[in-house]
A and B are shown apart, each in its own frame.
Chain A
Amino acid sequence: MIEAVNLRKTFQDKKRGEVKAVDDVSFVCRPGEVYGLLGANGAGKTTTLRLLATILEPTSGTARLCGHDIVEHPERVRANCGFLSTATALYPRLTAQELVEYFGRLNGLDEATLKQRVDSIFDRLDMNGFRDRRCDKLSTGMKQKTSIARTLVHDPPVMIFDEPTLGLDIMTARTIIEFIRECRERGKTVIFSTHVMREVEKLCDIVGIIQNGKLLAEGTLEQLRQRHGVNDMEEIFVRIVTPHFNEAA
């Protein structure tokens, strides 16, 4: 369960002055649901997700993950979520197994549980072939699998994906999409950001459209289609975002 309550994040920029990256955003995301955060580049998707993952601290407002407040107990929040983005790289000098084990230990797993957990994840993701290979020697697909294993090692109830398929080839992107679907089936709370409409249509239970840090529209795919009288998700997105687009410039 994720509850965002009036989340705000402002940055100081030398040229532009105060920048409102996230502006009064509230939403709820329930277990077994995939919440898609849809927006153009620079709309505030990444900042929102980084706030939820407690990598950044909100300027005001807050959010709760599984009941833990992101401002008051950021460490408990992180223990309850897995965060994956194209920016979350792997340590090049560790092997795939060492990397996953490291994050397991950081999550407080004892050695017996860790071994069992690592073995089962490596079996499930079919990673035993490159267990002992260093991360800098892995292919993109293997790296993605290792990243997935890293986010799963502590079996978190909440998953946060920030543009997880950005820059990946079709086959690797498919692995990620499959994985997100699997998370939902296992009853996890999933939020992910993207600007790829097809992914939204394939995956999302609820869509939030964000521009200039503001959540402009929210609802199930069906609700959005009815509200705007068109079927095409891209058309809906353009209609919602266009009136606000000039403000960004």
Chain B
Amino acid sequence: MSLRNIGVVYRKELLEALRDRRTLITTFLVPLLMIPVLGSGFVAVMSAALGSAKKEKPKVMIIGGQDSPALLSALQKYSKIRIVPTTADWRDEIINKEIRAAVEIPDGFDANVEKGQAGTVKINIYGGEIKSELAASNLEAYLKEYRDETASKRLEANHLPPEMLRSFLVKRQSIAPPEKEAGAILGGIISYMLILMCLQGAMNPAIDLTAGEKERGTMETILSSPISRTHLVLGKFLLVLTAALVTALLLLVSVSVSSNALQHSSLLDQMTDDGQPAPHFSLGVKTIASVVIMVVPLSVLFASGLMTIALFAKSHKEAQSYIAPLMFIVIIPAISAMIPGVDLTPKLAIVPLLNVSLLCKELVTGEYHWNYIVLIFVSTCVYAAGALFLAVKMFQRESVLFRS
């Protein structure tokens, strides 16, 4: 094994890659811009939608209740809704999003409340529609308050203490550190992006250094030089690996910079409920370092896998058509890691790609299960070594190099 020869090939490929616009774009520009552009776009749209939903005074119809003036006047007093005149086609109005909700009051409500048999007040909404849901939850909270009020009035009338109604209270409180709460949200997305970027960054150089070389007719030139094919493929592989790692690193840099910027902007406050602290988005040095360590064997796997496939092709285009289906195969495990509740198990820890994305999700959340980390690192290294071995073997095969 001659490191000098591998180095000569690597330096030349690096020089060429830095002069290749396509590689520059996919390795530097895409990971740096992807997160800020996509992320800020997403946050802006979300907060705009939520903001306008919160600002809107939803139109609400009241059905029935003519015999229950007490409830009606209570609803009239509620400032967060606007009561509009009732029409017969209120169902259509909701479906057409003309109004957000319709409150159905059963007959004789006020009278029956006194007896404690008032039945159910129905809130009809357009389920899944955010403004409708928001109106409904406000209405529901207000009606519950009204119910408690009437109940305590009755208790008072009977000279009983109002506390009888509430023998205890329930309150939910998150004690997870703010960064972990945010990590759970971010972890899945980041590991998905990381895997995708890693593949994306390796793709263009992997094609350019194999199929591209055939297409340009330089394959025969380089094969006639004294360098051994193993050294040649290793030099090329190192360049593809570099591209994958640089892309992944830049993505992580971009994520931490953007999440810091997000932290200092007011966008997050608009997205969280009033009074609650905004989740804390930021990646620590330890998290980034451990994610990078996992990304190394993954990049080796991608770089050698892509080179093996692309080497079969005779042209850049042909190679792309072979690799396009591979994208889908990679996306499936990457997406699976985003599904809440899919967590690491010993079996999943040896499934390639899925294991790394699940682990990255955990690492971003700030959890370090060392047995899994070691298992996944080792298993990914084994897969990566297998793929690299295959790439080297492919480079020895005349039928692949001179496929016609």
Q: Given A90-B218, A154-B226, output 4 extra A-B contacts at Cβ < 8 Å.
A: A83-B220, A88-B221, A102-B8, A106-B225
Contacting pair A108 B217 (CB below 8 A): no
Contacting pair A85 B220 (CB below 8 A): yes
Interface string of A82-104 (1 = CB under 8 A from B): 01010111111110001000110
Least Cβ–Cβ distance between B402 and chain A, in angstroms: 7
Chain B residues whose CB sits within 8 angstroms of the CB of A108 once the complex forms = 226
Contacting pair B16 A93 (CB below 8 A): yes
Least Cβ–Cβ distance between A76 and chain B, in angstroms: 8
Contacting pair B226 A79 (CB below 8 A): yes
Chain A residues whose CB sits within 8 angstroms of the CB of B227 once the complex forms = 75, 106
Given A89-B217, A94-B12, A98-B15; A78-B224 close (CB under 8 Å): yes
Chain B residues whose CB sits within 8 angstroms of the CB of A87 once the complex forms = 217, 220
Contacting pair B217 A78 (CB below 8 A): no
A78 to B226, CA, bound (A): 5
Contact for B221 among A93, A105, A107, A150, CB less than 8 A:
A150
Q: Does B148 contact A (CB under 8 A)?
A: no
A88 to B216, CA, bound (A): 9
A56 to B224, CA, bound (A): 10
Q: Does A168 contact B (CB under 8 A)?
A: no
Q: Does B40 contact A (CB under 8 A)?
A: no
Interface string of A173-209 (1 = CB under 8 A from B): 0000000000000000000000000000000000000
Contacting pair B5 A106 (CB below 8 A): yes
**27 A–B pairs (Cβ distance < 8 Å), ordered by A:** A50-B220, A53-B224, A55-B220, A56-B398, A75-B226, A78-B226, A83-B220, A88-B217, A88-B220, A88-B224, A89-B216, A89-B218, A89-B220, A89-B221, A90-B221, A92-B216, A94-B12, A94-B15, A98-B12, A98-B15, A102-B12, A106-B8, A106-B9, A106-B225, A107-B226, A108-B226, A154-B226
Chain A's closest residue to B401 (CB) is: A55
Least Cβ–Cβ distance between B7 and chain A, in angstroms: 9
Given A90-B221, A105-B8; A57-B398 close (CB under 8 Å): yes
Least Cβ–Cβ distance between B16 and chain A, in angstroms: 5
Contact for B228 among A53, A75, A88, CB less than 8 A:
A75
Within 8 A of A (CB), among B1-22: 5, 8-9, 12, 15-16, 19-20
A83 to B220, CA, bound (A): 9
Query: B residues engaging A (CB < 8 A)?
Result: 5, 8-9, 12, 15-16, 19-20, 216-218, 220-221, 223-228, 398-399, 402
Most buried by A among B216, B224, B399, B402: B224
Chain A's closest residue to B20 (CB) is: A93
Most buried by B among A53, A81, A90, A93: A93
Chain B residues whose CB sits within 8 angstroms of the CB of A78 once the complex forms = 224-226
A53 to B399, CA, bound (A): 17
A106 to B225, CA, bound (A): 7
Contacting pair B220 A93 (CB below 8 A): no
Chain B residues whose CB sits within 8 angstroms of the CB of A98 once the complex forms = 12, 15
A107 to B225, CA, bound (A): 7
Contacting pair B224 A55 (CB below 8 A): yes
Chain A's closest residue to B224 (CB) is: A83
Least Cβ–Cβ distance between A137 and chain B, in angstroms: 12
A76 to B227, CA, bound (A): 10
A44 to B262, CA, bound (A): 67
A98 to B9, CA, bound (A): 12
Least Cβ–Cβ distance between A168 and chain B, in angstroms: 15
Contacting pair A106 B221 (CB below 8 A): no
A78 to B5, CA, bound (A): 15
Task: Kindly list the 8 A-B residue pairs having the minimum CB-CB distance in the complex, ordered from nearest.
Answer: A89-B217, A83-B224, A79-B226, A88-B221, A78-B226, A106-B225, A93-B19, A93-B16
Within 8 A of B (CB), among A115-169: 150, 154
Contacting pair B16 A106 (CB below 8 A): no
Chain A residues whose CB sits within 8 angstroms of the CB of B12 once the complex forms = 91, 94, 98, 102
A92 to B21, CA, bound (A): 13
Chain A residues whose CB sits within 8 angstroms of the CB of B19 once the complex forms = 93
A106 to B229, CA, bound (A): 12
